[in-house]
Amino acid sequence: MTAEEPGMAQQVMAADDLFPATRKTPLPGGYMGRILRVNLSTENFEVLPLPEEPLLKKLWGGQALALYILLRELAADAQPLGPDAKVVMMTGPLTATGLTPGGTKMCAVFLSPITGYTLGRAATSGFWPMALRAAGYDGLILEGVARRPSYLYIDEERVELRDASPVWGLGTRDTENRLRELVGHRDARVACIGPAGEHVVPAAMLVNDYNHNAAHGLGALFGSKKLKAIVARGTRRPPLHDKKALIDAGRRWRKVLEPTVYTVQQRLKSPGYGGLWGAITRNNWRSTVITDEARGFDQNRVTLRPCFQCQRLCPWDVEIGEGPHKGKGGHFNAGSEWMDTFYNLGLKGNDVLQLTERINDLGIECGHFANAAGLAFEAWEKGLLQADRTQGLVLQWGNHASVERLLEQCARREGWLGNLLAEGVEPLAKALGGDAPQWAVHTKGGSPAQHDWRPRISDMLDNLTGSGGMKSQGGGSYAVSPRDLANTEQWGPLDPALPEGWARSQMLAEQLKQACGLMGCCWFALIDINAEDALNSMMDSLNATTGWNMTLEDARAAGHRSMILQSIFGAQHGWRAEHDWKHVGPRFLEPVPDGKYQGFTIARWLPDIVQEYYRLSGRHELSGRPLPGTLERLGLEEFAAWAEREARP
């Protein structure tokens, strides 16, 4: 296919063995059938056919399919932010069908610019992934570096790399508004970087639809590629194998979700996710006790603002109703790591909401800032840092003006401290010297999701074994085996204070949440995996969409493949399982300092519990590489070169 008119991106149907020029197998339902390869250097655009059905049946989509492509394409010596770096973004078969909750997901993979040796995985929901599919694409491969600041406009067959100078330098909110005006489509969806991405802050985010962020440094890759944004729109929808059955399965899924639907009332009083178990991060993880953090929230006007066709109603908008920020607005996602981010700096109430709006506008991953700034504040308290290095800012806990200014300095790498905050907690700790490295919280140099996970064994495992960037591979604290898996798994309730059984629980939850992501759905729509019909309704949705006949065991295998591919990618770039418990900021493994979990720590069971997790999932407990039998069982023999040679060398 060549250009149909001048000014239109040239599109060529290219092919190799992964992207077949002529399909030998039918395209299953739920897939648009096309991946767009964008070479930013040459401004060449190729429409690649989706891989054959056997591979799709193994990997489904999302992280696993994206990573499979990245493993094939990324040069061995590519630097995370170098010209050879690539980003693969992928939706799944349920993304944008509109008929299930959570059908909103896109996952991007790349070599992490935060850790430098693990998989960067940046997932997002909202509306943008739907718009990419409406434009006719399952996914994107981004490569090269644009000659000038640019944005990519995708409107079905029209693909253009356009001059981004009208929006370069703008925050994510203004960028989104302005680009929508520039492309002339009110319903075009925008994923963009803010100043942090432009200044290649390693933990810069890609922000879409005002309230969603693809983190783990994806924004830094965009900045390094001079790509400000991707604007997508279109009229297409994924074909469905059995629409009636999908509507029925989606209705069941929605019913499962009903008890967990968010309400305005919760937003008016909740201090965030940590409220669930009663611990938040305060003063650089030195206190966990919830006090009046949610003060003033009850004066706000809150509007729930769901993602595309999802009824869980996670995201929300606020108009602050009291105090110095009265009248200001904000757009938030559900995770609430951003709340703990500012609690960690001693802030409370609507200061937190106002600063969250700022950090998302600047496009900095909140945990990255929380832990670097938390360390700086502690260093100030302990006399290790003075005003000569803060450009005169006073870093007293709870000082709103200083935090607001620090955010700007971090996003634009201004001054000694701003630049180090941008670089992250490890370089900052090293530069501060003294005992500062002991006060740091990080996992592999990146940030855990910013909640005080320390009292929760499974969540700690999740964050320690994750690839080091805010969002883990997927897991959670599940003390009882899922009802829908009763014929294969029956255990629990597990004791939250003892290690027994949690590695298995974590592995199972990770498999299932990965599977949910691979089909293009959001884990927040699979929040209670124990609920009756939670897993079955999800599987029936997949099968109705694709025409497959996948079982829950197939789902676990698909999720497992995604986990194994992540390990293989890590192994290729120098990661070993040992990094999970050795390359960790010490404070993250300290006993809980106060509150109802005071003294609790999983450190006493390290590394055993992490090694148990690797053993259970068929990986070597020190190298983290898959065992040959694991690859065989999952049909990933082609990666045999990266397997552990012997089970126990």
Partner 1 sequence: MNAPLERTPYPVARLLDGQARAILFDAAKCIGCRQCVEACKDWNDLPRGDTGRIGGTTWLTIEPPVMEGQSSVWGRNSCMHCQFPLCAAVCPVEAITKYEEGPVVIDPARCIGCGFCIEACPWQVIGRNRAGGKARKCTLCQDRLAGGVSPFCVSACPAGALEFGLLEEVRAQARQRAAANGATVYGGNEAGGTQVLHVLNRTPAEHGLAAVAAQRFPPHRVGLGAILRMLFGASGGLSGKWRALGNALRKPWRLKYRYWPGRGG
Q: What is the contact surface with partner 1 in residues (CB under 8 A)?
A: 96-99, 130, 134, 180, 185-187, 210, 233-237, 251, 261, 301, 303-306, 308-311, 313, 317, 331
Q: Tell me the closest approach of the beta carbon of residue 254 to partner 1, in angstroms.
A: 9
Q: What is the dihedral of CA 535, 540, 541, 544, to 10 degrees?
A: 170
* Token output for 306: 């769901």
Name the nearest CA neighbour of 152 among 89, 217, 98, 76: 89
Which has the closest alpha carbon to 228: 190, 258, 279?
A: 190
Sequence-separated (6 or more) residues with CB below 8 Å from residue 298: 268, 269
With tokens 């009046």, the residue in question is 292
Residue closer to partner 1 by CB (options 264, 647) is 264
Q: Which two tokens stand for residue 37?
A: 């390869």
- Shortest distance, CB of residue 576 to partner 1, whole angstroms? 45
Which of residues 131 and 393 has its CB atom nearest to partner 1 in the complex? Answer: 131
Q: How far is the CB of 309 from partner 1 (least distance, A)?
A: 6
Provide the greatest CA pair distance for the chain.
69
Of 134 and 146, nearer to partner 1 (C-beta) is: 134
**CA 570 to centroid of chain Cα atoms:** 17
Measured CA to CA, the distance from residue 87 to residue 100 in angstroms comes to 28
367 neighbors 447 (Cβ within 8 angstroms)? yes
Q: Which is nearer to partner 1, 56 or 313 (CB)?
A: 313
Residue 527 CB, shortest distance to partner 1, in Å, is 16
Give the end-to-end CA distance of the chain in Å, rounded to a whole number.
53
Q: How do beta strands 212-214 and 206-208 pair?
A: antiparallel
| Total length of the chain | 649
Q: What are phi and psi of 444, to 5 degrees?
A: 60, 30
CB 153 to partner 1: min, Å: 14
Q: How far is the CB of 304 from partner 1 (least distance, A)?
A: 6
**Minimal distance in Å, beta carbon 139 to partner 1?**
18
Residues in a beta bridge with 140: 36, 89
Tokens of 548: 């497959």
CA pair distance 414, 419, nearest whole angstrom: 6
Task: Between 132 and 509, name the residue whose CB sits nearer to partner 1.
Answer: 132
What residue type is assigned to position 176 of the chain? E
What is the smallest separation between the CB atom of 331 and partner 1, expressed in angstroms?
A: 7
How far is residue 189's CA from residue 176's CA, in Å, rounded to a whole number? 8
* 8 Å CB contact between 376 and 431: no
Residue pair 54/548 in contact (Cβ under 8 Å)? The answer is: no
- Give the shortest CB-307-to-partner 1 separation in angstroms: 9
Q: How far is the CB of 130 from partner 1 (least distance, A)?
A: 8
For residue 404, the minimal CB distance to partner 1 (Å) is 23
Tokens of 325: 């920020």
Q: Which is nearer to partner 1, 233 or 368 (CB)?
A: 233
d(Cα 81, Cα 63) in Å, to the nearest integer?
A: 20
Nearer of residues 314 and 373 to partner 1, judged by Cβ: 314
Shortest Cβ 459–partner 1 spacing (Å) = 28
Nearer to partner 1, 24 or 186 (CB): 186
Minimum distance of partner 1 from residue 274's CB (angstroms):
26
Q: What is the four-CA torsion angle of 412, 418, 422, 428, rounded to 10 degrees?
A: 170
Q: Which helix (H) or strand (E) holds 193?
A: none
The answer to whether 463 touches 610, Cβ cutoff 8 Å, is: no
Q: Is the CB of 309 or the CB of 391 nearer to partner 1? A: 309
* Closer of 47 and 246 to partner 1 (Cβ): 246
Nearest-angstrom CA–CA distance, 127 and 406: 31
Which residues lie below 8 Å from residue 321, measured CB to CB, with a gap of 6+? 296, 299, 300, 301
Residue nearer to partner 1 on the CB measure, 209 or 351: 209
CB closer to partner 1 out of 150 and 545: 545
Nearest distance in Å: CB 313, partner 1 = 6
Helix (H) or strand (E) holding 498: none
Q: Choose between 47 and 130: whose C-beta lies nearer to partner 1.
A: 130
CB 432 within 8 A of CB 472: no
Whose Cβ is closer to partner 1: residue 33's or residue 492's? 33
Q: How far apart are CA 183 and CA 542, in angstroms?
A: 34
Q: What's the min distance (Å) between Cβ of 258 and partner 1?
A: 10
Q: Which two tokens stand for residue 88?
A: 């693969």
177 vs 572, beta carbon nearer partner 1: 177
CA 287 vs. chain centroid, Å, equals 26
